[in-house]
Amino acid sequence: MQEETASSNEQHPVSLKWIQRYFKIAEQVSAWSKDPSSKIGAIIVGDKGQIISQGYNGFPRGVIDSEDRYNQREIKYKLVVHAEMNAILNALYNGSSVDGATLYVHNLPVCHECAKAIIQAGITRVYIDTNINERWQESWHYTKTMFSEAKVECYYYNDADGSITRQC
């Protein structure tokens, strides 16, 4: 018996049940962040459904992650590693390849800087669960452009109704 797919109007590579499960894991990972204003989580899943890596927004290993630094945006933005980048780097740190993998990002869209790393690492599919607000429009524009040109599939998952919308 074939599992329910995430979208009825197109053949979708991942079942809705698994997309929901992966986003719940990414949400749990986001809670590990010490950032008081943004908690972002990402997981990388291999072509057989195995979780390869995880990441959340935080400072690099060994860098002091004090409350004071997180509360000063100018300092925080210079030190923080985004969840997507952290997941890629954690995979590398553990000797795992992410070539052909899928990335699930909870709580923010993929910025254009992380998009470059996603493409270079060989990740072929990305799911996000956050609408793009005004603050992220320009970055998201460049992300979508690069993803489209590099043939990285990108989807928006709406948890409220379980719908999946292709973004690029």
Please report the pLDDT score of residue 32 as a whole number.
98
The stretch 142-165 carries a mean pLDDT of: 97
Using CA atoms, how far residue 27 sits from 46, 65, 118, 152, in Å, is 18, 21, 20, 23
List pLDDT tens digits, range 62-72: 999 999 999 99
Report the mean per-residue pLDDT for the chain: 93
Of the residues 27, 84, 113, 134, only one is catalytic, namely 84
Whole-angstrom Cα distance, residue 108 to residue 86? 14
For residue 1, pLDDT over 80 is answered with no
Helix (H, G, I), strand (E, B) or coil at 126: strand
Share of the chain above pLDDT 90, in %: 89
The stretch 40-61 carries a mean pLDDT of: 97
- Which of 42, 14, 15, 38 shows the shortest CA–CA distance to 28? 42
List pLDDT tens digits, range 29-42: 999 999 999 999 99
Is residue 84 annotated as a catalytic residue, yes or no? yes
Please report the pLDDT score of residue 11 as a whole number.
60
Question: Higher-confidence residue: 104 or 132?
Answer: 104
Q: Which tokens go with 82?
A: 């985004």
